Structure 1
Amino acid sequence: MAELVSLDGIKKACDVLYSNPDIIQTPLLCHVQNMFPKIDQDVDLYLKLENMQTTGSFKIRGVTNQMEHLPPEVRDGSGEAVTFSAGNYGKAFAYCMSKKGLKGLVLMPHTAPDDRVDMINSFGLEARKVPSHEIYEHVKKCVADGYILLHSFDDVNLVTGYGSIAMEILKVVPDPDVVAVCCGGGGLVAGVAAGLKLSGCKDCRVYAVEPTGAPTLYESFKAGHAVTIPGVKSVATGLMPPCAGEIPYKICKQYLEEVLLVSDEEMVESMKILYDRGLKVEPAGSAAFTALAQGRIKDVKGKKVVIVVTGGNITPPELAKLIG
């Protein structure tokens, strides 16, 4: 899979990211199993806190690297970019584009909260809500009208940017046994898995975790190719694109141990557990922790288990509505 992602590519992405003052090398909490009574105390637990990243999620890592490889017509302002996002990618995209003084259009599903729309607009980009099941048709129409598509997950520059998380994990835990990562379009878990495996962690088991209502990578693994699932639905809006990315699927197929599923109710329970320990985490951000807490990850006794907590973009009213 060298033609898609390489260790050299990930290291170059790290150079790009760490030369940018907006990128934070987020904390990795070590040996924290005793914080969570529901977790098997024989597990050596680590939490990688991407909810503390700039713009509130891991997305800015990939977007910063994506910005380094902008098409010339977008970079010079002669053309306008279009993308699509339920929130976190759109926020990071708008933030990075505005820093460059560039304009763009972010198509959002009609279910996206209005505050996400307002936030993207505040960066000087246009956010436009469309019916969720029509979002790809709107993307195609925009491209036909002259917009340049910057994909929100099926992009190798995003994947290599996300690989920086693996590099940071390995600085602290050079020999993890298990790493669990949430999965929407698959770009994040593809980057983390590639970074770990290409760095020599051949025996590390990397798991993707999806909602039961949006199991696109799970079904892709069963089908043997990236699939589309109409009508995906989950409280974890960041994990419910209607398809798995072609590029992430190919990388995940090579490096992942398994795709695990968790329910909305289980993710909300994990949000409350994390909140009670001082961590504000959105539903999507709690997915990997949920897989461990619910016993979905097997053979963890005595193992070094790293959970990537991916985002904390949730307002106090939204949080109160979910966890009370």
Structure 2
Amino acid sequence: MGDVSAEAVTLDLLREARERVRSSPLGVINTPMIPWCQTTLPLNVSCSVHIKMENMQRTGSFKIRGVANQFSRRPRRGCFVTLSAGNYGKSFAYASKHYGSKGKVVMPETAPESRATLIQSFGVEVERVPTSSLMSVVNRCVQENNMTLLHPYDDLDLIAGHASLGLEVLEVVPEPDVVVVCCGGGGLLSGVAAAIKLSGLNKTRIYGVEPEGACTMYQSFIEKKPVWMDAKSIASGLAPPSAGRLPFELCRLYVEQIILVSDEEIKAAVSTLFRAGLVVEPAGSAAFAALVNNKVPDLEGKKVVCILSGGNVGKDELANFPD
């Protein structure tokens, strides 16, 4: 990331990125916004909620937005390396195959084997390592094999690409009172928050949601700097080893609070969504889990947006969730 600071993130930059994402040959979708009242989902608070369905994105998650902008800004037949528990890796591999780039994904050993197999099916190499070794292996690839790192969350182009989601939200709900977004390394949360706040919606409250066992952004807020930790959660997509530096800066500026949910609450959220006909992975269910467990404050009578960020969950994984 170099010395890029939060000041580099402007509304013009985000709008330009949105146009690149929209015109990308990777086929990024303007995903539906569904009113909660048109579903069978439970809601204990009297408020108006819209659900942003990023689980319907072409590669099954929001990650394709940032990847589309990253590849549009770099030599596309390069030799790239990244780290991912699955969703970013899938979008990275999809783009690498489309552009004919050589790629490698370094994955934590805790990620489902099915996700590694899927990434490899696009012709991208996968190396599985302990979570604590992710960055050291990536750095080795950069230094010894002359590969270029495409960071999965701490990258200006990626964050700007993810901001396209926030701008789409405002096209349907122009003045939301509350927006609830999952948070891992912070790329999505910071992009969405920047898009909304830089659009002039100073009164909108934006909440990030993390698993209790992978609360790097939560701890970073406390320590006032990005922290590293041995993150563990059923929501592997929200369990990177650290919060991103640039995402942290942006979240400190634009995010109201980081809310924590337990793995049990995430499991229950996946099951509840599935019973309502929505296939959403654990990481993609975190924001929903925070809402249904009444962890987001002051929602009565408010206009709320909840982002379901991904649906990449296999039958083998769903079998482990309660009926």
- TM exceeding 0.5: yes
Moved more, 312-321 or 206-215: 312-321
For the residues of structure 2 that align with 1:206 and 1:32, how far apart are their CA atoms?
Answer: 22
In angstroms, what is the RMSD of aligned CA positions?
A: 1.3
Counterpart of 1:28, as a letter, is M
Moved more, 186-195 or 118-127: 118-127
1:4 is the counterpart of 2:31: no
Moved more, 108-117 or 59-68: 108-117
Report what 1:276 is aligned to.
275
By how many angstroms is 1:35 displaced? 2.8
Preserved contact between residue 14 and residue 161 of structure 1 (Cα < 8 Å)? yes
Counterpart of 2:55, as a letter, is N
By how many angstroms is 1:20 displaced? 2.4
1:65 is the counterpart of 2:69: yes
Report what 1:130 is aligned to.
129
Per-residue deviation, residues 265-301 of structure 1 (Å, max 9, x unmatched): 0011111111111100000111001111111111000
Report what 2:17 is aligned to.
13
Report what 2:147 is aligned to.
147
Per-residue deviation, residues 55-81 of structure 1 (Å, max 9, x unmatched): 1000000000010112x4xx344xx21
SS at match of 2:243: coil
By how many angstroms is 1:31 displaced? 4.5
By how many angstroms is 1:32 displaced? 2.4
For the residues of structure 1 that align with 2:28 and 2:39, how far apart are their CA atoms?
Answer: 30
Aligned match for 2:29, one of 24, 38, 54: 24
- 1:193-272 correspondence to structure 2 within 5 Å: 193-229=193-229, 231-272=230-271
Unaligned runs of 5+ in 1: none
By how many angstroms is 1:34 displaced? 6.7
Counterpart of 1:171, as a letter, is E
For the residues of structure 2 that align with 1:2 and 1:154, how far apart are their CA atoms?
Answer: 12
Structure 1 runs (4+) deviating above 4 angstroms are: none
Report what 2:53 is aligned to.
49
Preserved contact between residue 4 and residue 247 of structure 1 (Cα < 8 Å)? no
Per-residue deviation, residues 144-198 of structure 1 (Å, max 9, x unmatched): 1122111111001111111111111111100100000000000000000000001
For the residues of structure 2 that align with 1:290 and 1:24, how far apart are their CA atoms?
Answer: 25
Preserved contact between residue 280 and residue 308 of structure 2 (Cα < 8 Å)? yes
Aligned match for 2:41, one of 33, 36, 41: 36
SS at match of 1:267: helix
CA pair 250-33 structure 1, distance change in 2 beyond 3 A:
farther
CA pair 317-76 structure 1, distance change in 2 beyond 3 A:
closer
SS at match of 2:31: coil
Per-residue deviation, residues 27-64 of structure 1 (Å, max 9, x unmatched): 00024287333x22411111000000011000000000
Q: TM-score, normalising length from structure 1?
A: 0.95
For the residues of structure 1 that align with 2:36 and 2:242, how far apart are their CA atoms?
Answer: 36
Counterpart of 1:262, as a letter, is V
For the residues of structure 2 that align with 1:207 and 1:137, how far apart are their CA atoms?
Answer: 31
Preserved contact between residue 282 and residue 314 of structure 1 (Cα < 8 Å)? yes
Report what 2:178 is aligned to.
178
Per-residue deviation, residues 103-140 of structure 1 (Å, max 9, x unmatched): 11110111222221111111111111112211111112
For the residues of structure 2 that align with 1:191 and 1:85, how far apart are their CA atoms?
Answer: 19
Q: TM-score, normalising length from structure 2?
A: 0.95
For the residues of structure 2 that align with 1:212 and 1:33, how far apart are their CA atoms?
Answer: 31
For the residues of structure 2 that align with 1:34 and 1:104, how far apart are their CA atoms?
Answer: 40
Preserved contact between residue 184 and residue 239 of structure 1 (Cα < 8 Å)? yes
Preserved contact between residue 46 and residue 306 of structure 1 (Cα < 8 Å)? yes
Per-residue deviation, residues 195-219 of structure 1 (Å, max 9, x unmatched): 0001111100000000000000000
Counterpart of 2:163, as a letter, is G
For the residues of structure 2 that align with 1:112 and 1:235, how far apart are their CA atoms?
Answer: 9
For the residues of structure 2 that align with 1:54 and 1:10, how far apart are their CA atoms?
Answer: 21
Counterpart of 2:61, as a letter, is S
For the residues of structure 2 that align with 1:154 and 1:120, how far apart are their CA atoms?
Answer: 21
For the residues of structure 1 that align with 2:135 and 2:45, how far apart are their CA atoms?
Answer: 45
Counterpart of 1:160, as a letter, is A
For the residues of structure 1 that align with 2:113 and 2:45, how far apart are their CA atoms?
Answer: 41
Unaligned runs of 5+ in 2: none
SS at match of 1:242: coil
Preserved contact between residue 65 and residue 158 of structure 1 (Cα < 8 Å)? yes
For the residues of structure 1 that align with 2:239 and 2:45, how far apart are their CA atoms?
Answer: 32
Counterpart of 2:8, as a letter, is L
